[in-house]
Amino acid sequence: MLTAEIICVGTELLMGQVLNTNEQFIASRLTMAGIALNYSSVVGDNPQRLKDTLLRAKDRSDIIIMTGGLGPTDDDLTKETVAQVFNKKLVFHPECMEKMALYLKDAGRNMTKNNEKQAYLPEECIVIENDNGTAPGCIIEEGGKAAIMLPGPPREMMPMFNVTVFPYLKEKSGVVLYSRVLRLFGIGESRAAAMCDDLIKNQSNPTIAPYAKEGEVTFRITASAECEEEAKLLVDEKCSKMYEILGEYIYGEGDENSLANVVVQALREKNLTVATCESCTGGLIGKMITNVSGSSEVYGFGFVTYANEAKMQLVGVKGETLKKYGAVSEETAREMARGARLVSGSDIGVSVTGIAGPGGGSKEKPVGLVYIGVSDKHGCDVFRFVQHGDRERVRNKSALCALDIIRRRIQNG
Amino acid sequence: MLTAEIICVGTELLMGQVLNTNEQFIASRLTMAGIALNYSSVVGDNPQRLKDTLLRAKDRSDIIIMTGGLGPTDDDLTKETVAQVFNKKLVFHPECMEKMALYLKDAGRNMTKNNEKQAYLPEECIVIENDNGTAPGCIIEEGGKAAIMLPGPPREMMPMFNVTVFPYLKEKSGVVLYSRVLRLFGIGESRAAAMCDDLIKNQSNPTIAPYAKEGEVTFRITASAECEEEAKLLVDEKCSKMYEILGEYIYGEGDENSLANVVVQALREKNLTVATCESCTGGLIGKMITNVSGSSEVYGFGFVTYANEAKMQLVGVKGETLKKYGAVSEETAREMARGARLVSGSDIGVSVTGIAGPGGGSKEKPVGLVYIGVSDKHGCDVFRFVQHGDRERVRNKSALCALDIIRRRIQNG
């Protein structure tokens, strides 16, 4: 398997002024191309440190992908340093100069003397045209190693990568990778990993990579093979075993999927609508549902009943209930869910009431205590949680729990 | 000046599954602490490559900050590798085990055999407690070098960094830096930078660092001096000049501040309440307001009127208005804002109706078209926007615009 290394050049990255999104973008494409990324690093605009990093990269990796340091100013040193390490001369590319002149004219800007520097590229390189900026990129090869240079701004880099670099990498790699991502909710990473310990311990091809993020756990199962069918077969077989063990927690698959998306699709399939009644989540469940394009088919009404008066006035929670049990109680959650369903005429009503903190907790009702109610024509259930973490986390996990409760309700209904 | 190096450990980063936000967070804090970050790198969960990277880092940098690889599974190797490189034994920390047990109990999860591994830390280390997860962090020192290990999930890492690591670094560095962060809304980065071009061009101490993120622009003004008073004086002087130029757009100050926070504080000060009525933002404004602890004093009622029926039934938008002008129109936004205010008995009503996309656009009403209404006892105003970007961006910018409209209304009212 070919190995790659990313080097992002720019003092602004080391100062923390800019989030390095290029790294993730390139890393994910390398994975798709079946090339192993072993290292990624950031170096400032410092010639000696850049040279050291490059020499090491050339020594240990087949492909070096660099972003940044192709600008017109004196502290942009990527090409100069790469040319030195790869023993190439920089030569003037008149066609790059022309392209740059056109670009600047379109942008209503003038060519400066500095820009001329950007038309110098290593001899015998493959030029990568830049439609969104002045700096052209390039690929140079020497002794089976390749160095790919791209500008730093993502809106310039990404199209150049997609058009020229990705096809180049895929051809070079010749390996086919296939992967599936299983998404779990309601179980922690360590417990999930422990449950399929045997599968994880004995992994080689496919590999199983667990990852936990904001209340969710994902497993990426990836196989490499000579053709996609073969890789797919390996992955599918492993996934079947994981479904046997963890099926209850797996709500969906795919990198871009979300619990809200799965809930909206499930509601659509069953032709059902849902209404929300949110106290401590303050609109977050509604926001998550409406993140999904087309959610208007299944979601029309939401109530943010942050105040007790809102709970009574909008969804008919009884004053007596609030007085006797409090706003954060099973009984209130029940009346909220039922009220939201009936007032809106939706098929399902879901409610959340809890103490998000940091204030408002007591011994009997601590911060993190949350009741989630779900109501449909068959009846109403209320679930009690004690969520851990700060205000944002309590709210986020509560909203996800509410979505998962809807998902399970639809699945089992 | 002390030098530092960041090493982020995790195959998920090299696979491109996760955006590395830790790097920028730590990099910016190092800058604030007056420590020079010369290198930052990402390594997978591979013992040999991690060891090589660590040896090199130990050789060339004073402080190594690592994130990730502290999890309960066998592929989490950071502590083991660091201990080896720094010649330390891993010893069992019963107090960490207890803390973990409490955390898991609160989270309603069970301790697994795997978790025990997380309570082993290098001998003679400074333990960094983790309130938001199972993995404790630690600092070890040897021969004037320090290695700091933190868990990978940002929600766990960031508070641990702020509470323990940042003070540790500041003390080690000895340089006094003082900075203020001005937060702007309603203006782009390049225009804001152009407006104070003279100040930025002539910067040395203080430095002025602009940064744009999700519809907001911030300027961080930082001075270094021998004592805090002196640095503060330099920064305050520069900030006064920036307020003269950009004052209209500056809604607040500080790293942790937000538009929602400023709005909630302003409402509290004036003893006012607000109600929301959201169509395309689907609860996002309510969510942003209720992010702020204590928002219940100023926010009690929210309506998510995603469907036309909800707009009519909940806040009294006239069927005639919807028919004649459509749901996305100045008139509907007006009736929504007014209705939300009157139905809830709040002082201010704010409404959003628009086309978030990707579907639903037309030539007359393109994707991104959003009307925001604000109603109080003096009357109702509606503002029209055409937001650019994808669905998430349109929704986010619209919610922020609504908050800014409330802020200006209170300020001028």
Digit-coded pLDDT (tens) for B78-125: 999 999 999 999 999 999 999 999 998 887 788 888 888 999 999 999
Over residues A187-191, mean pLDDT: 87
Q: Chain A contact for B282, CB < 8 A? A: yes
- Cβ-nearest to A300 among B16, B134, B306: B306
CB contact under 8 A, B358 and A293: yes
Contact criterion met (CB below 8 Å) for A228 and A178: yes
Interface test with B, best of A3, A31, A42 (most B CBs within 10 A): A42
A residues 48..87 contacting B (CB < 8 A): 49, 53
Contact B283 A280 (CB under 8 A): no
Q: What is the mean pLDDT of residues A217-232?
A: 90
Distance from CA of B344 to the nearest CA of A (A): 7
- Whether the pLDDT of residue A107 is over 80: the answer is no
What local confidence, expressed as pLDDT, does residue A386 receive? Answer: 94
B136-188 per-position pLDDT tens digit: 999 999 989 999 999 999 999 999 999 999 999 999 998 888 889 999 999 87
Q: Find the residue in B nearest to A313 (Cα).
A: B344
Does A181 score more than 90 pLDDT? yes
User: Does the pLDDT of residue B323 top 80, yes or no?
Assistant: yes
Residue B132 C-alpha, separation from nearest chain A C-alpha, in angstroms: 5
Which of B110, B301, B306 comes nearest A296 by C-beta?
A: B306
pLDDT confidence of residue A113: 79
What mean pLDDT comes out for the span B15-44?
92
Taking the Cβ of residue B18 and every Cβ of chain A, the question of whether any pair is shorter than 8 Å is answered with: yes
Domains in chain B, start-ordered, CATH in brackets?
Answer: 3-173 (3.40.980.10), 176-253 (3.30.70.2860), 259-412 (3.90.950.20)
Residue with tokens 């970007």: B389
Phi-psi region of A69 (alpha: psi -120 to 50; beta: other; left: phi over 0): left
According to the model, what pLDDT value does residue A226 have?
81
| Residues A20, B20: C-beta atoms closer than 8 Å | yes
Which among A40, A282, A359 has CB closest to B41?
A: A40
Task: Tell whether the model's pLDDT for residue B201 goes beyond 90.
Answer: no
3-state secondary structure of A111: coil
Q: Which chain A residues are closer than 8 Å to B74 by Cβ?
A: 201
Position A99 scores a pLDDT of 92
- The nearest CA of chain A is from the CA of B8 a distance in Å of 10
Among candidates B28, B153, B286 on the partner chain, residue whose Cβ is nearest the Cβ of A282? B286
The pLDDT confidence band at residue A251, using thresholds 50, 70 and 90, is very high
Which one of B14, B131, B290 has the shortest CB-CB distance to A306? B290
- Which of A27, A391, A395 has the CB atom closest to B14's CB atom? A27
- Token digits of residue A96: 């790059």
Per-residue pLDDT at B26: 97
Q: CB–CB of A65/A165 below 8 Å?
A: yes
User: What is the bridge-based pairing of β-strands B3-9 and B63-67?
Assistant: parallel
Cα distance between residue B108 and residue B173, in whole Å: 41
CB within 8 Å: B391 and A293: yes
* Chain B residues closer than 8 Å to A10 by CB: none
Strands (E), A114-269: 120-122, 126-128, 137-142, 145-150, 176-185, 207-213, 216-225, 250-253
Contacts of B351 in chain A (CB under 8 A): none
pLDDT grade for A412, boundaries at 50, 70 and 90: confident
Contact A27 B38 (CB under 8 A): no
Question: Are A382 and A372 spatial neighbours (Cβ–Cβ below 8 Å)?
Answer: yes
Rounded to a whole number of angstroms, the distance from the CA of A158 to the nearest CA of chain B is 14
In this predicted structure, what is the pLDDT of residue B244? 96
Contacts of A391 in chain B (CB under 8 A): 291, 293
Question: H or E stretch including A394?
Answer: helix A391-412
- Whether A318 has its CB under 8 Å from any CB of chain B: the answer is no
Interface contact B15-A27, CB threshold 8 A: yes
**Which residues 6+ apart lie within 8 Å of A247 measured at CB?**
none
**Nearest CA to CA, how far is A312 from chain B (Å)?**
11
pLDDT digits (tens, 9 = 90+) for A339-354: 999 999 999 999 999 9
φ/ψ of B179, rounded to 5, equals: -145, 155
Could you give the CA distance from residue B152 to residue A407 in angstroms, rounded to a whole number?
30
CA angle B31, B36, B40 (to 5 degrees): 95
Residues facing residue B182 across a β-bridge: B219, B253
Q: Is the pLDDT of residue B190 over 80?
A: no
Name every residue whose Cβ is closer than 8 Å to that of residue A51 and which is 6 or more positions away in sequence. Answer: A81, A84, A85
Best of A51, A263, A290, A370 to substitute, by most chain B Cβ atoms within 10 angstroms, is: A290
Q: HSE (CB half, 13 Å, CA atoms) of B15?
A: 20
pLDDT at A105: 84
B256 contact A CB<8A: no
pLDDT mean over B236-255: 95
The answer, yes or no, to whether residue B27 has pLDDT greater than 80, is yes
Q: What is the mean pLDDT of chain A?
A: 93
Whether A212 sits inside 8 A of B153 (CB atoms) is yes
Mean pLDDT of chain B, nearest integer: 93
pLDDT of res. B285: 98
Of the two residues A108 and B87, the one the predictor is more confident about is B87
- The CA-CA-CA angle for residues A188, A190, A196, to 5°, reads 105
Q: Is the pLDDT of residue B209 over 90?
A: no
From chain A, the residues in CB contact with B291 under 8 A are 282, 391-392, 395
- Which residues of B fall within a CB distance of 8 Å from A209? 11-12, 15, 17
Q: Which of B220, B290, B295 to mutate to test the interface with A (most CBs of A within 10 A)?
A: B290
Judged by CB atoms closer than 8 Å, whether chains meet at B291 and A210 is answered as no
Asked if the Cβ–Cβ distance from B302 to A283 is below 8 Å, we say: yes
Shortest Cα–Cα distance, B227 to chain A (Å)? 22
Q: Dihedrals φ, ψ of A278, to 5°? A: -115, 130
Per-residue pLDDT of A139-176, as tens digits, reads 999 989 999 999 999 989 999 999 999 999 988 998 88
Q: Where are the alpha helices (DSSP H) in A275-387?
A: 284-291, 308-315, 319-325, 330-344
Instruction: Decide if B306 touches A, using CB distance below 8 A.
Output: yes
**β-bridge mates for residue B303, sequence order:** A303, B277
**Looking at residue B75, what is its pLDDT?**
81
Q: What percent of chain B has pLDDT over 70?
A: 100
Contact A286 B291 (CB under 8 A): no
Q: Which residues in A164-187 are b (16+ Cβ under 10 Å) and which e?
A: bbbebbbebbebbbbbbbbbbbbb
* Tens of pLDDT, residues B259-292: 999 999 999 999 999 999 999 999 999 999 999 9
User: Measured between beta carbons, which residues in chain B are less than 8 angstroms from residue A27?
Assistant: 13-16
Using the Cβ of A155 and the Cβ atoms of chain B, whether some distance falls under 8 Å is answered with no
ipTM above 0.85, yes or no: no
Q: How confident is the model at residue A130 (pLDDT cuts 50, 70, 90)?
A: very high
Q: Residues 186 to 225 of A: which have CB under 8 A from any B CB?
A: 188-191, 193-194, 200-201, 209-214, 218, 220
Is B45's pLDDT higher than 90? no
Residue A50 in tokens: 């850049």
The answer to whether A170 faces chain B, any CB pair under 8 Å, is no
Residue pairs between chains A and B whose CB atoms are closer than 8 Å:
294
Q: How far apart are CA B262 and CA A83, in angstroms?
A: 52
Helices A284-291, A259-270: crossing angle, 10 deg rounding: 70
Give the list of residues 6+ apart from residue B200 with CB closer than 8 angstroms, or none.
B193, B208, B210
Is the pLDDT reported for residue A413 higher than 80? no
Residue recorded with tokens 């709210």 = A395
Query: Among B93, B83, B86, B39, which residue's Cα sits nearest to residue B65?
Result: B39
B134–A contact, CB cutoff 8 A: yes
E strands within B10-77? Answer: 36-43, 63-67
* DSSP 8-state secondary structure symbol assigned to residue A70: -
**Which residues sit opposite A36 in a β-bridge?**
A3
Q: Tokens standing for A182?
A: 């299983």
* Closest residue of chain A to B19, computed from CA coordinates: A24
Residues of chain B in contact with residue A322, where contact means CB-CB under 8 angstroms, are none
- Enter the pTM of the model: 0.79
Tell me, yes or no, if A299 comes closer than 8 A to chain B by beta carbon.
yes
Looking at chain A, which residue has its C-alpha nearest residue B303? A303
Task: Give the chain B residue whose CA is nearest to the CA of A203.
Answer: B75
Are B290 and A283 within 8 A, CB to CB? yes
